[in-house]
Structures are given as C-alpha cells and as structure tokens.
C-alpha cells in the first residue's frame, strides 16, 4: 500500500512535466482519472487550473483572473452565455506544529455538514507544501482503551481540537525541514474506487467530474461555430463567500467580468435520499431557484427531447454559485450531477449521468438553442 501511495504522489507531483493531452480524444472517465489526484482545496486551486489549461487545445483562447479561475471564450453574439464549474474542494489548512512533530488543522472554509470533520479520523491525507505533496495520517485513538465518556465525545462532539496529523516527524524542526508551513492546504487522500455499472466513488468526485465534463466539452466544441458569446469557466473559491454576502467569490467575479445574460451552473445534488429525490443513472438534474418561466430552461428541455436525454428536476434550490445571478434580468439554471453520499470520502457518481450531461450541453451550445 505504501509503495502504491508513493507512486501516486510521484505521479501527481510530476504531471506538469508530462505535457498537455488533447481532451477531444478522451472520455470523461479518463479525464477524471487524470485530475482526481490533484489537490484543489479552496484557495489552492492553481495546480488543477494549470492541468486543465494544459489539457485544452492550443487553439482555444484562455484567460485567467487574479483569483485563480480559468476561462475559455468562444463565439460572438448575444445573449452572452456562461457555463460554470467549481475548481475547489473542501479542505483544511495547517494551523499549528507541535514540539513533538505533529500538525494541527483548521478549516479553510465552513464545513458542508456537522459530521464532515469526523471523517478525518484514521484517514490518510495529503499536505500541499512548497516542496511538493507530502503524505500524512490523522491519528486514530484505540477505541477499546477509551472510557465510554471519551468515545461519546469523539462520536457526538468531534472537533478539530482532537485532531493530530502525523507525517512521521518527531520535532518541529523536522516538520519544517520537510517544507511544511502554517496555512499549507490539507486534503483527503485521493482514493478512487471503480464500482460496478459505471459508478465510481471518491472524495470530491462530484466536483472533479463537473470539471472533467466542462474540459471534455471545451475540447470537443472548440472548433464549432457558436451563435452567441459563450464563456466556459472553472471557478476558484466557490466555497468562500464574497464579503458581506452568501454568494461565492468566484461566481461574483464572473458576473462582474463577463456580464453574462444566461448562466448554466454545473453542480451536484444529493441523490437517492427518498422517493422524490434524484436517482443515479437517471440523467442530469435541471435545478431552478424558484418556479417560473425561463427561456433558458425551455431551450435545455427542447435539446433534451430532441437528443432523447432524460432529465430530472429540482426546484427551490439556491446554491452560493447561483446566488449572484439571481434577482436581476440574468437567466440562471443549474445542470447538476446526482451524487450519492455527497461531501463524504465516498461520493458516488454514475458516469452515465456525466456522459448525458456533456451530450446535453454540447447539443445546447452547438445547435444555437441557447439564444
């Protein structure tokens, strides 16, 4: 296992020197395999953005902003359309180094749910340092040696104050010699499991799959003619709110930079949580913040009917990425992947949904229906 992990770390560290891959020749699963191991905690998305940029065809016009987001602009004409996916995953930062060589952790952003931090116990993680990626494990107490009160504390009142990250060092000097500094990002180990029936599982798999769908779409449509100005964007810091708001900082930048009139958010929604919940393998989910007429929604539905693509629906759902585009004349909808066990180390994605999502976006953009 150690040998396998070391090989994976080496591959992730050296990917930048391998060169670009023409994405049009790859399926979404292959792209996910390439980008999944690259850490992309909020505020540390530069490595994933660089990989995506290298993987795009050279002829595609690319732009960046100071936040770390990456954009591709294609076509001309109105209404201006933006298709957006998040670059960042939930992660942690090094908040302290003990005298005996352990690391202490804090959140980079607010946890997505109350139990999220407890997944750290006993799990391997990756520390992104200036010297490269470093393996570590989060200490797991021997439960049979703890009192009942202590076990209850770990189960019900878990906090990051209980977490110690072991990287194999025995002093603060050894830690710093490894290149570790305060505020270095920490993410879960990139353990990707390929299940039956085109279903895969892994931490932040929904977010990484959304990035891969948009990357594959950019590669296959870059030479097509667009009837409107279309911006494809991989957004940094979508889990960090703009000052004084609930809106994602990366999404706010897009609104101000490109002034889109129509917006499609590539997102993920919880699946198989009850009879009315979206299901895996039943197609992408069309998400609206509220009920009401929408030309963009009608255009997507028309494309889905024409191409025989199944759609699922959710209404009354508003994400922080969607929020800055609400309340004015901008039309915004979400096209989401249904994800089982979201925001856990074992998010499950059905790649039939991902393939259908890409096909639907491609048909909508190239056919000129989104106008």
- Does 264 lie in the same domain as 214? yes
- Does 243 lie in the same domain as 114? no
pLDDT band at 318 (very low <50, low <70, confident <90, very high): confident
- Asked if residue 369 has pLDDT above 70, the reply is no
**What's the predicted TM-score (pTM) here?**
0.89
User: What's the rounded Cα separation, in Å, for the pair 263 and 326?
Assistant: 10
CATH code of the domain covering residue 226: 3.40.630.10
- Does 309 lie in the same domain as 243? yes
User: pLDDT value at position 243?
Assistant: 66
Torsion of CA 333, 210, 213, 368, to 10 degrees: 10
User: pLDDT value at position 18?
Assistant: 41
- Asked if residue 61 has pLDDT above 50, the reply is yes
Point out which residues pair with 150 in neighbouring strands: none
CATH code of the domain covering residue 127: 2.40.30.40
- Does 328 lie in the same domain as 224? yes
pLDDT band at 8 (very low <50, low <70, confident <90, very high): very low
- Does 139 lie in the same domain as 27? no
134 in Cβ contact with 179 (< 8 Å): yes
pLDDT band at 42 (very low <50, low <70, confident <90, very high): very high
Q: Which pairing describes strands 285-288 and 312-315: parallel, antiparallel, or unpaired?
A: parallel
- Say which residues have a Cβ less than 8 Å from residue 235's Cβ, sequence separation at least 6: 69, 84, 85, 86, 87, 88, 248, 250, 251, 253, 254, 321
102, part of any domain: yes
- Measured CA to CA in angstroms, residue 262 lies from 63, 82, 193, 272, 297 at distances of 20, 6, 36, 30, 10
User: pLDDT value at position 329?
Assistant: 86
- Does 104 lie in the same domain as 78? no
8-13 long-range contacts, Cβ below 8 Å, gap at least 24? 8/37, 8/190, 9/126, 9/133, 9/135, 11/37, 12/37, 12/38, 12/39, 12/133, 12/190, 13/132, 13/133
- Say which residues have a Cβ less than 8 Å from residue 154's Cβ, sequence separation at least 6: 118, 121, 141, 143, 146, 162
pLDDT band at 183 (very low <50, low <70, confident <90, very high): very high
- Does 359 lie in the same domain as 211? yes
User: What's the rounded Cα separation, in Å, for the pair 315 and 41?
Assistant: 29
- Does 163 lie in the same domain as 268? no
- Asked if residue 67 has pLDDT above 70, the reply is yes
Last residue of a domain, one of 158, 188, 218: 188
User: What's the rounded Cα separation, in Å, for the pair 153 and 20?
Assistant: 49
User: What's the rounded Cα separation, in Å, for the pair 72 and 23?
Assistant: 14
- Does 223 lie in the same domain as 181? no
User: What's the rounded Cα separation, in Å, for the pair 71 and 58?
Assistant: 14
User: pLDDT value at position 156?
Assistant: 73
Task: Give the distance, in angstroms, between the CA of residue 204 and the centroid of all CA atoms in the same chain.
Answer: 6
- Asked if residue 103 has pLDDT above 50, the reply is yes
198, part of any domain: no
User: pLDDT value at position 115?
Assistant: 86
Last residue of a domain, one of 141, 162, 188: 188
193, part of any domain: no
Sign of CA dihedral 350, 352, 355, 361: negative
- Which of 196-200, 219-223, 295-299, 338-342 is predicted least confidently? 219-223
- Does 135 lie in the same domain as 68? no
- Say which residues have a Cβ less than 8 Å from residue 245's Cβ, sequence separation at least 6: 252, 323, 324
- Asked if residue 370 has pLDDT above 70, the reply is no
197, part of any domain: no
Q: Where is mean pLDDT largest: 53-62, 71-80, 229-238, 313-322?
A: 229-238
- Does 102 lie in the same domain as 84? no
In the chain, the number of structural domains is: 2
Q: Which domain holds residue 142?
A: 92-188
Indicate the DSSP class of residue 249: H
Pairwise pLDDT comparison (2 vs 273), residue with the higher score: 273
- Which of 35-44, 268-277, 332-341 is predicted least confidently? 268-277
- Give percent of the chain with pLDDT exceeding 90: 68
- Does 50 lie in the same domain as 126? no
- Asked if residue 20 has pLDDT above 90, the reply is no
């Amino acid at each position: 296992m150690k040998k396998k992990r070391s090989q994976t770390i080496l591959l992730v560290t050296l990917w930048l020197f391998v060169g670009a891959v023409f994405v049009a020749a790859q399926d979404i699963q292959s792209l996910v395999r390439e980008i999944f191991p690259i850490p992309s905690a909020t505020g540390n998305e530069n490595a994933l953005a660089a990989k995506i940029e290298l993987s795009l065809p050279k002829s595609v016009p690319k732009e960046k902003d100071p936040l770390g987001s990456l954009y591709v602009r294609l076509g001309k004409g109105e209404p201006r359309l933006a298709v957006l996916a998040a670059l960042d995953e939930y992660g942690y930062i090094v908040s302290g180094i003990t005298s005996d060589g352990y690391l202490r952790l804090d959140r980079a952003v607010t946890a997505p749910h109350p139990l999220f931090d407890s997944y750290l116990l006993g799990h391997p993680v990756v520390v992104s340092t200036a010297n490269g990626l470093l393996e570590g494990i989060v200490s797991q107490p021997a439960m049979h040696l703890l009192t009942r009160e202590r076990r209850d504390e770990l189960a019900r009142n878990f906090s990051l104050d209980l977490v110690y990250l072991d990287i194999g060092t025995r002093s603060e000097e050894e830690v710093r010699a490894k290149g570790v500094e305060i505020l270095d990002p920490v993410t879960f180990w990139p353990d990707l499991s390929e299940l039956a029936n085109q279903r895969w599982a892994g931490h932040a798999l929904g977010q990484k799959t959304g990035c891969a769908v948009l990357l594959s779409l950019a590669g296959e449509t870059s030479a097509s003619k667009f009837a409107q100005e279309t911006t494809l964007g991989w957004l940094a810091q979508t889990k960090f709110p703009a000052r004084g708001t609930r809106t994602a900082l990366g999404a706010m930048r897009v609104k101000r930079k490109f002034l889109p009139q129509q917006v499609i958010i590539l997102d993920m929604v919880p699946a198989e949580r009850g009879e009315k919940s979206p299901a895996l393998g039943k197609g992408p989910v069309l998400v609206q913040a509220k009920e009401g007429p929408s030309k963009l929604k009608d255009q997507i539905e028309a494309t889905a009917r024409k191409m025989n693509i199944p759609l699922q629906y959710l209404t009354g759902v508003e994400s922080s990425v969607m929020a800055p585009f609400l309340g004015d004349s901008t039309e915004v909808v979400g096209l989401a992947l249904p994800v089982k066990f979201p925001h856990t180390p074992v998010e499950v994605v059905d790649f039939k949904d991902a393939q259908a999502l890409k096909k639907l976006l491609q048909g909508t953009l190239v056919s000129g229906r989104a106008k």
